[in-house]
């Protein structure tokens, strides 16, 4: 198994003007295999985009890091140091929530392909158009209807596909997509989910998806990581994690989601995530957890149970290792 991404006790914070660090990601370890679709879900502010940005190599200059992050064999984060040479925009590409913002509004799609392919591979116009046609077809866009268009002349779904095809044409083997389905209607969402799965199957693309959308995550992802307050509290195979959530936070997230065809009362999650600058020395979910007990006042364990990772003391005696 080839690993596309590996994080080891990764911490990412943001330094303010007084040089105080707010830790948005508080020591997480995970792996994404080549060709895997890995989703990161969780409430707003839990650190999902920070991880996505770290993988894509687009953290801001006031970000501080600890631990390690590998993209294939290259250590891009080594404690405080970051080095994305040859990785950023090449091996890894980032598709933002609104893909229109990653495309140049003043250039046609053909011109955008040319600029990228000319600077990366030195292609001339003819070779660039040939390549663009191939990659547009790969994402199910008709080159004759897209190449001469400016981004604003394309729908949101088409812009997203065009951005993905430019990323693939530059040789991206990992795509980080932040909230890729949130601006799409149900039909386009399903189309995009199918496309991502097909690209995974045909070109072995690894996808890191950052989303609030638990239902799409369950449909599309091989693995789901549930984040809370900068920690991964549960990680496991997509479908299983949603049908049999173990961590109390995952259970509450699932209870808060409407499922088509299933009548169930929707529950909100009372309370707010902790806003703590420094280390959190207890289970990050303790304050909001309906089943917390004494032991939760100390760090939760990292448990592995039948291919599932769950960070909760309640499973300590359930065959975990
Ligand atoms: N550039 C930044 N500078 C300072 N703080 C930041 C920056 N980006 C994110 N943060 C802070 O880091 C924490 C995690 O934010 P992040 O955007 O990673 O979470 P998220 O789970 O992706 O949230 P959302 O779904 O709302 O985008 C938040 O408290 C946020 O305010």
For ligand 1, say whether the CB of 97 is within 6 Å of any of its atoms: no
Average pLDDT of the segment spanning 155-167: 90
For ligand 1, say whether the CB of 310 is within 6 Å of any of its atoms: no
Pairing mode, strands 308-310 and 231-237 = antiparallel
Test site for ligand 1: of 10, 13, 18, 49, most ligand atoms within 8 A of the Cβ: 49
Specify the pLDDT at position 181. Answer: 76
Specify the pLDDT at position 263. Answer: 64
Specify the pLDDT at position 191. Answer: 83
24 CA distance to ligand 1 middle (Å)? 7
In the predicted structure, residue 243 carries a pLDDT above the cut 70: yes
Test site for ligand 1: of 23, 39, 48, 59, most ligand atoms within 8 A of the Cβ: 48
Q: Output the residue whose Cα is nearest ligand 1's atom 12.
A: 24
Q: Are the C-beta atoms of 157 and 208 separated by less than 8 Å? A: no
For ligand 1, say whether the CB of 14 is within 6 Å of any of its atoms: yes
Residue 112: both structure tokens together: 């955008």
For ligand 1, say whether the CB of 273 is within 6 Å of any of its atoms: no
Residue 171: both structure tokens together: 């040789």
For ligand 1, say whether the CB of 288 is within 6 Å of any of its atoms: no
Angle, vertex CA 291, rays to CA 212 and CA 267, nearest 5: 40
Specify the pLDDT at position 309. Answer: 93
Residue 78: both structure tokens together: 């080594």
Specify the pLDDT at position 169. Answer: 93
For ligand 1, say whether the CB of 46 is within 6 Å of any of its atoms: yes
Q: Report how far residue 277's alpha carbon sits from residue 193's, in angstroms, rounded to the nearest whole number.
A: 37
Query: Euclidean distance between the first and final Cα of the chain, in Å?
Result: 22
Average pLDDT of the segment spanning 167-192: 85
Most confident of 2-11, 178-187, 195-204, 284-293: 2-11
Specify the pLDDT at position 320. Answer: 54
Residue 236: both structure tokens together: 């496991």
User: Residue 147 — very low, low, confident or very high, per pLDDT cuts 50/70/90?
Assistant: very high
The ipTM, to two decimals, is 0.98
Q: What rounded mean pLDDT belongs to the chain? A: 90
For ligand 1, say whether the CB of 52 is within 6 Å of any of its atoms: no
Average pLDDT of the segment spanning 282-305: 88
Q: Which strands, in side-by-side order, build the sheet including 231-237?
A: 92-95, 174-178, 206-211, 37-41, 223-228, 231-237, 308-310, 303-305
- CA 51 to ligand 1: nearest atom: 18
Q: pLDDT higher for 319 or 189? A: 189
In the predicted structure, residue 40 carries a pLDDT above the cut 90: yes
Specify the pLDDT at position 64. Answer: 97
3-state secondary structure of 237: strand
Range with the poorest average pLDDT among 112-126, 131-145, 225-239, 267-281:
267-281
Residue 53: both structure tokens together: 């940005």
If we measure between CA atoms, which residue out of 63, 119, 64, 65 comes closest to residue 90? 119
Q: Report how far residue 240's alpha carbon sits from residue 12's, in angstroms, rounded to the nearest whole number.
A: 29
If we measure between CA atoms, which residue out of 183, 3, 9, 174 comes closest to residue 101? 183
25 CA distance to ligand 1 middle (Å)? 10
Average pLDDT of the segment spanning 188-207: 87
136 CA distance to ligand 1 middle (Å)? 33
Q: pLDDT higher for 40 or 299? A: 40
- CA 62 to ligand 1: nearest atom: 3
Residue linked to tokens 């596909």? 161
For ligand 1, say whether the CB of 247 is within 6 Å of any of its atoms: no
In the predicted structure, residue 80 carries a pLDDT above the cut 90: yes
If we measure between CA atoms, which residue out of 234, 239, 173 comes closest to residue 208? 173
- CA 210 to ligand 1: nearest atom: 22
Q: Output DSSP code: residue 248.
A: H
User: Residue 34 — very low, low, confident or very high, per pLDDT cuts 50/70/90?
Assistant: very high
For ligand 1, say whether the CB of 45 is within 6 Å of any of its atoms: yes
User: Residue 227 — very low, low, confident or very high, per pLDDT cuts 50/70/90?
Assistant: very high
229 CA distance to ligand 1 middle (Å)? 11
User: Residue 39 — very low, low, confident or very high, per pLDDT cuts 50/70/90?
Assistant: very high
Signed CA dihedral, 72, 167, 93, 191: sign only: negative
In the predicted structure, residue 204 carries a pLDDT above the cut 70: yes
């Amino acid at each position: 198994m080839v690993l596309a991404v590996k994080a080891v006790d990764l911490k990412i914070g943001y330094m303010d003007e007084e040089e105080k660090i707010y830790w948005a990601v508080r020591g997480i370890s995970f792996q994404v295999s080549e060709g895997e679709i890995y989703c990161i879900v969780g409430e707003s502010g839990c650190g999902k985009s920070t991880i996505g940005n770290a993988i894509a190599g687009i953290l801001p200059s006031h970000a501080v890091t600890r631990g390690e992050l590998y993209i294939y064999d290259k250590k891009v984060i080594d404690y405080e140091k970051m080095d994305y040479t040859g990785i950023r925009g090449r091996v890894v590409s980032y598709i933002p929530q609104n893909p229109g913002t990653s495309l140049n509004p003043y250039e046609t799609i053909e011109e955008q392909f040319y600029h990228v392919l000319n600077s990366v591979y030195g292609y001339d116009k003819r070779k660039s158009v040939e390549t663009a046609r191939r990659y547009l077809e790969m994402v199910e866009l008709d080159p004759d209807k897209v190449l001469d268009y400016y981004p604003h002349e394309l729908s949101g779904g088409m812009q997203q596909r065009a951005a993905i095809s430019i990323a693939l044409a530059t040789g991206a083997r990992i795509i980080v997509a932040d909230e890729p389905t949130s601006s799409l209607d149900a039909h386009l969402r399903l189309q995009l989910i199918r496309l991502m799965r097909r690209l995974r199957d045909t070109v072995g693309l690894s996808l890191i998806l950052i989303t609030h959308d638990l239902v799409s995550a369950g449909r599309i992802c091989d693995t789901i990581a549930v984040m809370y307050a900068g920690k991964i509290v549960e990680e496991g195979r997509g479908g299983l994690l949603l049908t049999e959530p173990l961590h109390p936070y995952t259970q509450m997230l699932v209870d808060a989601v409407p499922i088509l065809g299933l009548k169930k009362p929707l529950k909100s999650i009372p309370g707010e995530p902790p806003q703590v600058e420094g280390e959190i020395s207890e289970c990050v979910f303790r304050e909001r957890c309906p089943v917390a007990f004494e032991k939760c006042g100390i760090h939760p364990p990292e448990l592995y149970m039948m291919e599932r990772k769950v960070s909760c003391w309640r499973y300590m005696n359930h065959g975990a290792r």
